[in-house]
Amino acid sequence: MTKKIIKTSEAPAAIGPYSQAVLSGDTLYCSGQIAINPNTGELVIDSIQAETEQVMKNIKAVLNAAEMDFSNVVKCSIFMSSM
């Protein structure tokens, strides 16, 4: 099975030895996203709404780089440190 590394400047660069996403066959495996604005490199933490919006923009950018969108998402896990 072929493997393709997915990378876009529209989402924060991977910090470490991993990729933003890997496409294996028809399945895209995305790395976790935090609320970093890829244009400024700044962490967006003004509010939970702003933070969530930035995370979703980052995920959308990675999906688009793989020629996919949110309709292709089958599973998503969200980890929170505090409710």
Dump the DSSP string for 26-71: TEEEEPP--SB-TTT--B--S-HHHHHHHHHHHHHHHHHHTT--GG
Question: Quick one: pLDDT at residue 43?
Answer: 97
pLDDT in tens, the chain (83 residues): 899 999 999 999 988 899 999 999 999 999 999 999 999 999 999 999 999 999 999 999 999 999 999 999 999 998 888 76
β-bridge partners, 27: 24
Question: Quick one: pLDDT at residue 82?
Answer: 76
C-alpha angle 68-43-22 in degrees, rounded to nearest 5: 30
The secondary structure of residue 8, as a DSSP letter, is -
Q: Where are the domains positioned within the chain?
A: 3-72
CATH code of domain 3-72:
3.30.1330.40
